Structure 1
Amino acid sequence: MTGTRTSASGSRRRTLKRALLALAALVLLVAGPTLAFLALWSWPLHRLPGVGAGQESQSRTPGMPEADAEQLMTVLRQARADAGVPSLSAAIAHVDGRRWAGASGWAEVERRQPATPASRYRTGSVAKPITAVALVRLAAEGRIDLDAPAARHVAGLPPALAGLSARQLASHTAGIRHYAQTPQWWPGWHEALAMRDCADVAAGLDLFQDDPLQFPAGAGFGYSTFGYTLLSRMMEGAAGRPFPDLLRQEVLDPAGMVSTGVDRDGAMPGRVAFYEGRQGRYTRAHPLDSSCRIAGGGLVSTPTDLARLGATLLGGKLMDEAALRMLWTPQPLADGSPNPQHYALGWRVEDDPRLASGGRPLRVVHHGGSQAGAAAFLLLVPDRGLAVAVMANSGSARGDVETTAFALAKAALTDSGARPGQD
């Protein structure tokens, strides 16, 4: 009897041991690739070299006093030091013609290449307001109806997408999904980290066009980069031109954005290297091919170009007041309620207490973005004729670029060159 009990006990131990080994193998199978991915692309393993005067530069127009430019550079320098990212680059443009641009840090750490105001960064979702400017210009010219169904300009769409309008797509009320919910740290399988190459805008539709809508069109708000892919395909159909050509002819050339273009795999002149990390540590960012989402997050630019776009809009040189109202009016949901992000067509519009006049928040128009190795923020203050753009070559710096943009705006609105009545 004792032998039987001993044998049974030994059998249970062996069964438990096999179960534990199977569990360990399963954990290793799941966690191993994840840990390897994080170690290679996400964990900031390296310490940033120091940043001195040799890694800083700025420029200003003659109309801006030197003391004001130095104040702005001090804000940028401190912001980069506080964030501990490889580099921050920023630009300010007033509608009266005053301009400033500065950069602090490393465009490429390994080669000890400093960032300059001419360094090109990924825009992330700041591509969306650029796309929206092109959309409203087409609408103002009568070449696209914002409320017409997508099927008018794009043949062969699934029924769920065929009835969506450009207004719904541009305001994220169409119901198209965003990136899949796979955790972003999963080993390179997340759609935001995809390396798929799309030869044209139409190829990007394959990523989502057969998926169900998240809610009935117009009934909710759901931020969607893929929605901008369909929007850009509609714009191509309306204009009869490939989207990159349309963007250049409708926005980039008229606004003088000479350093802005479609991001692409491989080397690009002036483009920074991309990293992840903050607080003085970094690692290289995961490679990225954004060719399937140009309109929503596939451009490179400089803060100077982005600020120039803002000042051009504020100065009425790209569209008239009626078109600007179209662009910057937050879109209500189908039941008349406001959308939760005060989202207009490609821009967020709100009264922000971070900038105030006479104790009242100023109205600001803005958009931010982040993706592998990059963060950007574009801020406009219409009542003060001011545009501010900040970009970083770290995907971890989304909050830093926004905070810095507001700090620079506040400094610019209190400088000695401010127009009468400004504060």
Structure 2
Amino acid sequence: MKKMIVIINFIFFLLSSNLQGQSTQDTKKEYPEVDTIVNAFLKQANLPGLSIAVNRNGKIIYAQGFGYADVISKVKMSPLTQLRTASVAKVITATALGKLLSEEKLNLDAPVKKYIPYINDKYANLTTRQLAGHTSGMQHRPKGTSYKRKQFSTIKETIELMNAPLLFAPDTDYEYSTHAFNILAGVIEGASGKRYTEYLNESIFKPLKMYYTAPENIKQLTDKDAKLYYVKEDKLREDKLTNASYKIPGAGFRSTPIDLAKMMNAYTTGFLSQKAIDELFKSHQLKNGKKTNVGIAWRSSIDIFGHPVIEHAGKWRGARTVIVYYPEEKLSVSLMINADCPVYIEETAHILAQFFRDDDKKLFKKHTYNHKIELTSGKGENRKVFKGKLSLEGLQGSLKVDTDNFLKSNPIYRLKKEHHYTLVTRHGLLFLELSDSSDFNGQLFIYGSRNKINPKHNTPALSFVPIN
């Protein structure tokens, strides 16, 4: 049955979007720097495969797969390969909540018992806003492991897995919870009058042409689904296929980067009302006045280039994923890896987004530099000093450090602005800034998500100066 659905979806896909095929074919011609950098990252991090799609102003302008969906069988990764979303599923659920808001069928601040009559009394007075913003006090997941081996068929079953007390009074703290999204799926069912998956199919996936997104069922996978891997001690290993049905709304979908990029059309084309979008993106505020930089699942941040960004990442067995959205430019980048790996994936997506901005790449002076350097990380008692070598030849180069950690030897590539480079490491694409002096002093930044200020205003992870 699933094979027939995949075939039908593929036909719909071909009929609905000539642009997708074109953007895939023209990738090498239009964005060669991206291909070069991603291939370097894939090799540096020893990853099986990676897939990317970019949406700008409602159009897929880039979609490309790299490496393998199945390493043993040498099945190449494609932008149509279905991968685990991991926690990016949460913003799929959030988009459905946004649709209900737009239809005026949902009150974010009403107790969830309004929508879920069978809800446990412990959770009856929690609100959609608290659950979606991780301020409800709900635990991350139910205790035990036996439920992970069961294939659940209803949202009600998964909601009733949790019976633990709240960790804290609502809105007094922040604690990430995947199980909270099972309850949110129940809210969607109550507000819409339809099953969770039915509402998503009819009101989200079909209108947005997300033909390759569906709840994962490990008994119904096809050759369109990527194999799962993980990286341990820098070695790639195949992961065990595990059941996700206990957490579909929060981490259990299969999708493609193209579908995730298409989902962002909900935020740029009027599919969702502006009022609903504002609610989804608005940071929650605790009772003590502290803002969490998390709205309805979506996280607000500032990237290393000073751009406001809305985003969410995921990490689970066989998956590392992210979608980042720049509302000022209507630009989004979705990136999916078929391996659980320690990658700074938001920062990697921020770096890649630079190549798809409207501003044209300027002609820069091509530097030639080959010099020994001294690198410093940390302060006070935590300060560490290393020796290394920085080499530049034109638009690329390398950084080599006398250490056994991930900085030992990594390629460098120029970005679209003077002094801006990326260091390609096994932990992702990191931002490297070199001074405008002939000495090439430098700073390397690692900054994560939910930033309230430009990360460049923080202490760099590493700084270096030339030495004789």
**TM > 0.5:** yes
Deviation at 1:161, TM superposition (A): 0.5
Task: Note if contact 2:42-2:67 (Cα within 8 Å) is conserved in structure 1.
Answer: yes
Alignment of 1:22-421 (within 5 A): 60-61=22-23, 67-95=29-57, 97=59, 99-179=61-141, 189=145, 194-208=148-162, 210-269=163-222, 270-277=224-231, 281-310=235-264, 312-339=265-292, 342-352=293-303, 354=304, 356=305, 361-397=306-342, 399-413=343-357, 416=360
Instruction: Flag the 1:96–1:250 CA change in 2: closer, same or farther, 3 A.
Output: closer
CA contact (8 A) 1:64 1:417 kept: no
Deviation at residue 140 of structure 1 after TM alignment: 2.1
Structure 1 gap ranges (5+): 1-57, 183-188
CA deviation profile, 1:376-423 (whole Å, cap 9, x unmatched): 1101111122110110111125x25334312210122277499xxx98
CA distance in 2: counterparts of 1:417 and 1:118, whole angstroms: 29
SS of 1:102 mapped into structure 2: strand
Aligned length: 344
Q: CA 1:211/1:65 → structure 2, altered by over 3 Å: closer, same or farther?
A: closer
Letter in 2 for 1:139: L
Determine if contact 1:68/1:415 at 8 Å carries over to the other structure.
no
**Alpha-carbon offset, residue 62 of structure 1:** 9.6
Q: How far, CA to CA, are the matches of 1:98 and 1:307 in structure 2? A: 7
Contact 2:69–2:77 (Cα < 8 Å) also in 1: yes
Name the SS of the counterpart of 2:340 in structure 1: coil
Residue 284 of structure 1: how far off its partner (Å): 1.9
| 1:22 aligned partner | none
| Residues 123 and 369, structure 1, Cα contact 8 Å, conserved in 2 | yes
**Matched residue type, 2:193:** G
Unaligned runs of 5+ in 2: 1-19, 363-415, 418-468
1:50-100 CA-partner distances (Å, limit 9, x unpaired) = xxxxxxxx9643997864322222222122112111111111111163511
Higher RCO, Cα 8 Å, sep 6+: 1
Q: Which residue of 2 aligns with 1:49?
A: none
Is the contact between residue 303 and residue 391 of structure 1 (CA under 8 Å) also seen in structure 2? yes
Higher Rg: 1
- Report the 3-state secondary structure (helix = DSSP H, G, I; strand = E; otherwise coil) of the residue aligned with 2:113: helix
Tell me if the contact between 2:142 and 2:179 (Cα under 8 Å) persists in the aligned partners.
no
- 1:9-60 Cα offsets, whole Å, 9 max, x none, are xxxxxxxxxxxxxxxxxxxxxxxxxxxxxxxxxxxxxxxxxxxxxxxxx964
SS at match of 1:258: coil
Distance 1:96 1:369, change over 3 A: closer
Displacement of 1:121: 0.3
Change (3 A) 1:278 1:116: farther
Cα deviation, 1:280-332, whole Å, max 9, x if unaligned, reads: 6322212211111111011011111111212x134233213222111110111
- Cα distance in 1 for residues equivalent to 2:273 and 2:159: 33
Confirm or deny: 8 A CA contact 1:377 1:402 kept in the other structure: yes
Q: Secondary structure at the match of 2:295?
A: coil
| Secondary structure at 1:309 match in 2 | helix
Q: Which amino acid aligns with 1:77?
A: N
Counterpart in the other structure of 1:31:
none
| Mean Cα deviation higher: 314-323 or 140-149 | 314-323
Q: Distance in 1 between matches of 2:41 and 2:146?
A: 31
The two structures have a TM-score, normalised by structure 1, of 0.76
- Alpha-carbon distance in structure 1 between the residues aligned to 2:157 and 2:247: 10
Matched position secondary structure for 2:105? coil
Query: Using the alignment, how far apart are the partners of 1:156 and 1:97 within structure 2?
Result: 42
CA distance in 2, matches of 1:181, 1:266: 25
Q: Is the 8 A contact 1:83 1:278 kept in 2?
A: no
| 1:128-181 CA distance string (max 9 Å, x none) | 011111102102212121111111111232222010111111111111100368
C-alpha displacement at 1:239, in angstroms? 0.8
Counterparts in 2 of 1:303 and 1:181: CA distance versus 1, 3 Å: same
Give the partner amino acid of 1:215.
F
Deviation at 1:198, TM superposition (A): 1.1
Q: Secondary structure at the match of 2:31?
A: helix
Moved more, 172-181 or 299-308: 172-181
- Distance in structure 1 (CA, Å) of the matches to 2:252 and 2:179: 12
Letter aligned with residue 276 of structure 1: Y
Tell me the distance in 2 between the aligned counterparts of 1:414 and 1:80. Answer: 26
> Cα deviation per residue 1:240-298 (whole Å; 9 max; x = unaligned)?
11111111222212221111111112242311010111686322212211111111011
In 2, Cα distance between equivalents of 1:171 and 1:367: 12
Q: Residues 153 and 320 from structure 1, CA distance in 2 versus in 1: closer, same or farther, beyond 3 angstroms?
A: closer
Equivalent pair of 2:51/2:79 in contact (CA under 8 Å): yes
RMSD: 2.5
Take 1:143 and 1:417, find their aligned partners in 2: how far apart are those partners? 46
Counterpart-to-counterpart distance in 2, 1:147 and 1:302? 32
Any idea what SS the aligned residue of 2:245 has? coil
TM, length-normalised to structure 2: 0.69
Between structures 1 and 2, the one with greater helix share: 1
Structure 1 CA distance for aligned equivalents of residues 245 and 104 of structure 2: 28
Distance, in Å, in 2 between the alignment partners of 1:235 and 1:116 is: 32
Q: Distance in 2 between matches of 1:388 and 1:98?
A: 10
